[in-house]
Structure 1
Amino acid sequence: MSRVMFTIGPFTIHIYGLFLAIAFASGIILAYRRCAAKGFSVDRALDLFIVILGSSVVGARLLFVLVSPQVFLNDPLRIIRIDQGGLVFFGGLIGAIAGSILYLRYHGLPILSTADLLIPSVSLGQAIGRLGCHFNGCCYGIDWHGPFACHVADSVNSAMVYQRFPVQILSSVANLAIFGILLYMDRKQSWNGKILTGYMILYSASRFSLEFLRGDDRGLFVGPFSVSQIISLCIMVAGILLMISKRKQNDERSEVIAQAGS
């Protein structure tokens, strides 16, 4: 399968770059509509989207370079060719979080409630982005000769084709399911940070599990676990602790209100 969608003069449109653009556009449109519906400043939202877009791409690329430096030894300029793949989601998430916190603190805006507005867009974008990984032939699965096996060409010799487990498709489906769960949780929103913690726990559990089905080179490992799995565990624990803390605060607040009303 060709990784190039089409060429217009000197410009080449890669499949991965196209799906990445669709993922960002879909996420921004959804977030814009959610912000407008919840009364969040549309102007602030647009500024924040720009910050998130830039910081997430930089973070995603930097983490990929850190865990897979050998890819760029012979051609350092490839670092800027993000349209060809090579983005680590957790790097993008860390970059987006850092950029968002700086922006929100600077403008005195609430962090958790804003995160609740934006997080569903992340899951939707991931679901679309993983389809781009599938068509690009990156982030592929382990050797697999069972049902639904997909064919992935060797990165060096395209004539060599391997059968792989369609982990990108499964990841896309998992993210779409998480997206649906988050929207359902939003209908029963009871405390700030609920959607954020739900995402932290659900996505981390999904990513940790699916990493065992990955067959591509993911750089550094700590024992049997990849860097992404270690980060997943940390985020899952942080999500659980945040959930416990916020629920406790919410229960205490409800108790105070009940006592005041009696």
Structure 2
Amino acid sequence: MLEALIPYLRPPEKLIADLPVIGPLKLQFFGPLVAAGVILGYHRCLHYAKRKNIDEFIARDMMFWVLVTGFVISHWVSVLFYFPEDVAANPLVLIMVWNGLSSVGGFFGALVGMIWYLRKMKQPYLVYVDMLMYGLLVGFTMGRLGCSLVHDHPGSIVDASHILAVGPWPDGQYRLDLGLLEFMYLVPITLYVHLVYNWEKARPGVLLGTVALLYAPYRFILDTMREKDKLYLGLTTAQYSTLIILAAGIYLVFIRKPRPEDNEWARDSDRAAREQAAKAAAPPAG
């Protein structure tokens, strides 16, 4: 029998502190990769904003709130829907944002933060959600690389000769690593969007819709390969979410018609012109 082509490797980790009630804080490969993904994704969002002439100050402020709500709600969805027994045992796990994240929860949390901020600033949604998706692809791909390194998404048991088998795992079995499979799929999507897709000329919302159509069916299938998960009427929380994502993609790409207000976002050039005019009108110092 052939051995797995992909060995199960556990990268080193360092215990930073063992805190009372909260428990151990560890430095793992996953954390730095997620941090690097956030930083790179943030800068790709700013690149998008510059090319689309989006007010840089609004873009930066919105991304701050998106990160806050995205990480918090991502953690809440993870522990409440996947590990409710942990919450029952220790309710403080709800504030341990570093201890478990859900990707679909992160999408929903980011949406909450974005809508709240853009309503406050009286801005249209679609160009900003395209901007977030443009940067999110980079950060999300790096996050999935981290998942594949720490093996926190075990999949179905397969024969060791399977071309995508990872193993042996600590229990001696050979499995599919769902984090690795998602990372392998996200890389070409990210490269396509950033290097091939003509996002500068696409109408607002189509970039998001295109990525949703590419991602949702694959993620739905991946969740059928989970070793064990909590099911609600036969589907996982992520599968229900991917059905919503797929429906949104169909609507944005094939059904929704362009609206004049879609293009009425705050322009960076207008802000710069106002600042220049205010500076010219100001009385000279002294």
Equivalent residue, structure 2, for 1:83: 98
- The one-character-per-residue Cα deviations of 1:98-133 (angstroms, maximum 9, x if unpaired) are 110111121122211111222122222221111111
**Residue aligning to 1:37:** 51
Question: TM-score, with normalisation over the residues of structure 2?
Answer: 0.75
> What is the match of residue 5 of structure 1?
13
Q: TM-score, normalised by structure 1?
A: 0.82
Task: Name 2:183's counterpart in structure 1.
Answer: 172
| Percent of residue pairs bearing the same amino acid type | 24
User: Counterpart in 2 of 1:24?
Assistant: 38
Change (3 A) 1:72 1:7: same
Deviations 1:135-175 (A, max 9, x none): 22211211122234223755xxxxx3432113211201211
Moved over 6 A (4+): none
- In the alignment, the residues of structure 1 paired with residue 72 and residue 17 of structure 2 have an alpha-carbon distance, to the nearest angstrom, of 28
Q: Secondary structure at the match of 1:104?
A: helix
Structure 2 residue identity aligned to 1:169 = L
> SS of 1:222's equivalent?
coil
Partner of residue 246, structure 2: 236
The alpha-carbon distance between structure 1 residues 77 and 4, as it changes in their structure 2 partners (threshold 3 A), is: farther
The reply on whether 1:134 has 2:166 as its aligned counterpart is no
| Cα RMSD for the two superposed structures | 2.4
Give the deviation of 1:21 after TM superposition.
1.2
**Would you tell me which structure has more helix in proportion to its own residues?**
1
Matched, 1:69 2:90: no
Query: Residues 222 and 22 from structure 1, CA distance in 2 versus in 1: closer, same or farther, beyond 3 angstroms?
Result: farther
CA distance in 1, matches of 2:15, 2:238: 34
From 194, 216, 237, the counterpart of 1:204:
216
Query: C-alpha offsets along residues 69-91 of structure 1, whole Å, 9 cap, x if unaligned?
Result: 0133333333333434x211111
Higher relative CO (Cα under 8 Å, sequence separation at least 6) belongs to 2
Q: What secondary structure does 2:198 align onto?
A: helix
Structure 2 CA distance for aligned equivalents of residues 222 and 167 of structure 1 = 22
Partner of 1:256: none
Question: Which residue of 150, 157, 172 maps to 2:166?
Answer: 150
Letter of the 1:140 counterpart: P
- 1:3 and 1:16 in contact (8 A); partners too: no
**CA–CA distance in structure 2, aligned partners of residues 169 and 15 of structure 1:** 15
Unaligned runs of 5+ in 2: 1-8, 19-24, 260-286
Q: Relative to 1, partners in 2 of residues 1:52 and 1:43: Cα closer, same or farther, differing over 3 Å?
A: same
